[in-house]
Amino acid sequence: MIGNLPTVLAQGGVDWISFDIGRLVDQFWYNTVNGLAYGSIYSLVAVGYTLVYGVLKLINFAHSEVFIVGAFGAYFTFQFLGYESGGIAQAPLIETIVNLVLALAVAMICSGLVALTLERVAYRPLRRKKAPRLVFLITAVGASFAIQQAIMLWRNPNPELAIQLVAPQPLFEVFGVSVTNIQLTVFLAALVLLLVADSFINRTRLGRGIRAVAQDPDTATLMGVNKERVIMLTFVIGGLLAGAAALFYIMQIPQGVVYNGGFLLGIKAFTAAVLGGIGNLRGALLGGFLLGVFENYGQSLLGGQWRDVVAFVVLIVILMFRPTGILGESLGKARV
């Protein structure tokens, strides 16, 4: 009966949701460090969303699949290099670094190629027909779906057996929290890549082309910018960064190589992009780190099973109250 409702909600213990401020405070620094390491992955993927949105005003829904293809690329590179699943490889440091760089290159190339193909095969015909935005979005959803399912049919629905090149080892402590070698590497490498991307957009000739098209495609074309090439470049940059993110992701979560592993991460990265201000490269960076950290705080506060809900709630709240995000500046207006 309806009168049972309170008992029903308490069923299976009352701790299905908590509001544990003590735990939040206790784990604050731990969560911050962890969150930044995760957040750098979100940032890298978010750049892909933000660049494409800035130039085409399109939510590239299939970007999550661009990411996961990179993860598979890195995984198969590991296999090719002779690493076995299960246990942690014990290779000399130099060899490990070389292999990681190789995997990084392969992942970036795979993702970049998928992004480029997607642009050429799916989106370009629509642009030629001047299709409305919803048509683009539906195409993106379809592409995401198709790539995901193709991977599933190829590899089966189970995650690939984890391959771990490096064991996480604590390097040093910040605020009483140990930072592992993996976290530090991922954070620094992501930061470097993001800075490279940022200066590419802001300081090079090609980057100026991207900003010009984002601001006003027609005028940019009149000024001699090749719009089609700029759009291709945008997808490729987004793809390359997503590929890098994919390698960092499977370094942290070796069991994450699965056909639908990109979906949730894609939504979160999109949330990060919106949080920082979609269309704004530095916004993607900020949003990624913030979301990574918020997610961990939420997990401490409400319980681990609510981790993913936090991201969705952040997305909804931001879109409702400040859809332009924190930095709110568009790619076209970014200062040099």
Partner 1 sequence: MNAHHFRSGTATKVPFGQRIRDWWNGLSRFHQWAIIIPVVVLVYLMPFLNFFPITTEPGTDFELALFNTARIVLIAIGLNVVVGQAGLLDLGYVGFFAIGAYVAALMTSRDSALYAEYPWLLVVVVGIAVTMVSGVIIGTPTLRLRGDYLAIVTLGFGEIVRLLADNIPALRGNVGFRNLERPPGEWSDGTRIFTQGDGIPWYWLTVTAIIAVLILVGNLERSRVGRAWVAIREDEDAAEIMGVPTFRFKVWAFVIGAAIGGLSGVLYAGQLGFVNNARFDVVTSVLFLAAVILGGSGNKVGVILGAIVIAYTPERFQVVSEYRYLIFGLALIVLMIFRPQGLLGARQRLLARGRQAYKRLVGKPEPVSTESPMKDAGKRTGV
Q: Which CB sits closer to partner 1, 121 or 174? A: 121
| Helix or strand holding residue 173 (H, E) | strand 170-174
Whole-number Å distance between alpha carbons of 292 and 111: 22
CB of 316 to partner 1, least distance (A): 6
Mask 12-41, x = binds partner 1 (CB under 8 A)? Answer: xx--xx------------------------
Helix axes 205-215, 181-203, angle to 10 degrees: 80
Q: Which of 31, 139, 299, 300 binds partner 1 (CB under 8 A)?
A: 139
Region near partner 1 per CB under 8 A, out of 124-132, 158-166, 168-176, 211-219: 124-132
- Residues with Cβ < 8 Å from 164, sequence gap 6 or more? 87, 88, 89, 254
Q: SS3 for 170? A: strand
Q: Do residues 99 and 125 make contact, with C-beta atoms less than 8 angstroms apart?
A: no
End-to-end CA distance of the chain: 65
Sign of CA dihedral 82, 83, 86, 89: positive
Q: Does 7 bind partner 1 (CB under 8 A)?
A: yes
Q: Which of 25, 146, 188, 206 binds partner 1 (CB under 8 A)?
A: 146
Mask 205-244, x = binds partner 1 (CB under 8 A)? Answer: ----------------------------------------
- Residues with Cβ < 8 Å from 17, sequence gap 6 or more? 302, 303, 306
Region near partner 1 per CB under 8 A, out of 75-83, 120-128, 185-193, 232-240: 120-128
Residues that bind partner 1 (CB under 8 A): 1-2, 4-5, 7-9, 11-13, 16-17, 57-59, 121-122, 125-126, 129-139, 141-150, 153, 263, 267, 270, 305-306, 308-309, 312-313, 315-316, 319-320, 323-324
